[in-house]
């Protein structure tokens, strides 16, 4: 497993649509492992393959203790409610902005064995699913921010 470079806002790869994954290969399994390592090292809760320069429909999310999710070829099939709050992105380090997202999301995806499953999430998990799926179609959260971006406060500043 290895850490990969996170692409930053302005990198052309972040504005491109990703291709579906058609089969699980050792290279894709390695990519998924690397994505988790990279996300954890950067203290993130989600990471999409284009953020590490790979135009494949792969997302990793871990918003709860020991509940990591791999979403391959995810499709959001249901949403409801809304939540508004600060959102950040590993591709826009040190910044956040207010974004409104659904409070409930149901996504259909494939797991690492290419088996289809459904995942339902609320609050932070719903936000993370929407945010990461946006990356797969070349959309950044900064396009949805109301009121502009602001620096993220770190624990030392509080």
Within a domain: residue 157?
A: no
> Given pLDDT bands bounded at 50, 70 and 90, which one contains residue 65?
confident
DSSP 49-60: GGGGT--BSEEE
Within a domain: residue 6?
A: no
Whether 86 contacts 141, CB under 8 Å? no
How many C-beta neighbours within 10 Å does residue 85 have?
Answer: 12
Within a domain: residue 29?
A: yes
The DSSP secondary-structure symbol of 142 reads G
Within a domain: residue 158?
A: no
Within a domain: residue 156?
A: no
Within a domain: residue 4?
A: no
Report residue 76 as tokens: 């959001």
pTM: 0.94
Whether 6 contacts 42, CB under 8 Å? yes
pLDDT of residue 154: 63
pLDDT of residue 90: 97
User: What's the domain count of the chain?
Assistant: 1
End-to-end CA distance of the chain: 35
Among residues 64, 115, 116, 132, the one annotated as catalytic is: 132
Domain with 22 in it? 12-151
Q: Is pLDDT above 90 for 1?
A: no
Residue 132 catalytic? yes
> Given pLDDT bands bounded at 50, 70 and 90, which one contains residue 155?
low
Render pLDDT for 90-102 as a digit per residue (tens, 0 to 9). 999 999 999 999 9
Q: Mean pLDDT throughout 100-124?
A: 98
Query: Domain containing 65 — which CATH number?
Result: 3.90.45.10
- What is the helix, strand, coil percentage profile of the chain, to 5? 25, 35, 35
Within a domain: residue 2?
A: no
Whether 147 contacts 98, CB under 8 Å? yes
Q: Mean pLDDT throughout 32-54?
A: 97
Within a domain: residue 32?
A: yes
């Amino acid at each position: 497993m290895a850490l990969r470079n996170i692409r930053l806002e302005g990198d052309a790869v972040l504005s491109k649509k990703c291709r579906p994954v058609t089969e699980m290969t050792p290279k894709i399994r390695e990519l998924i492992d690397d994505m988790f390592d990279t996300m954890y090292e950067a203290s993130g809760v989600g990471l999409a393959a284009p953020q590490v320069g790979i135009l494949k429909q792969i997302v990793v999310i871990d918003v709860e203790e020991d509940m990591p999710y791999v979403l391959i070829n995810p499709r959001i099939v249901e949403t409801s409610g809304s939540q508004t709050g600060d959102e950040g992105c590993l591709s826009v380090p040190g910044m956040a902005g207010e974004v409104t997202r659904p409070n409930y999301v149901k996504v259909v995806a494939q797991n690492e064995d290419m088996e289809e499953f459904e995942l339902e999430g609320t609050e932070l998990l719903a936000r993370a699913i929407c945010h990461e799926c946006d990356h797969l179609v070349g959309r950044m959260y900064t396009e949805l921010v109301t009121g502009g971006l602001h620096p993220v406060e770190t624990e030392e500043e509080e």
